[in-house]
Amino acid sequence: MAFYALQRRAAPGVDGVTWQDYEADLEPRLADLHARVHRGAYRPLPSRCRYIPKADGRQRPLAIAALEDKIVQGATVMVLNAIYEEDFLGFSYGFRPGRSSASSSIGSATSASSA
């Protein structure tokens, strides 16, 4: 489930809802979220923006999504991964769960030759 895949200590978004707050009333909240998504009434909230200092003194913007937005995004990723995973060839490694260029035979040969 997308909710349990979230970071439990992540910063809350503009809604101020934490993982623990949402979990306290999880089943009805998820049922309501599911219903809103299916009837087209779900609307993501604006992201909360914070600035992180960089080594050179400049600041980098960081957008923090609301908890329900993170849940919907995670569920969407899970569904799309299940659909498209079947279409990938066994030697395709880019942006796939549990696979990376380092775990491919080409990546292994490259990292072995650079060692």
Q: Binning pLDDT at 50, 70 and 90, where does residue 102 land?
A: low
Q: Is 11 part of any domain?
A: no
Region 42-56: what's the mean pLDDT? 95
Q: Contact at 8 Å (CB) between 67 and 22?
A: yes
**Could you tell me if residue 98 is inside a domain?**
yes
Would you say residue 45 lies in a domain? Answer: yes
Domain for residue 12, yes or no? Answer: no
* 62 beta partners: 50
Does any domain span residue 4? no
Q: Specify if 90 maps to a domain.
A: yes
Angstrom distance (rounded) from CA 1 to CA 75: 7
Is 97 a domain residue?
A: yes
Range of the domain at 29: 19-114
Lowest mean pLDDT among 14-23, 71-80, 92-101: 92-101
For residue 13, being part of any structural domain is answered with no
> How many distinct structural domains can be found in the chain?
1
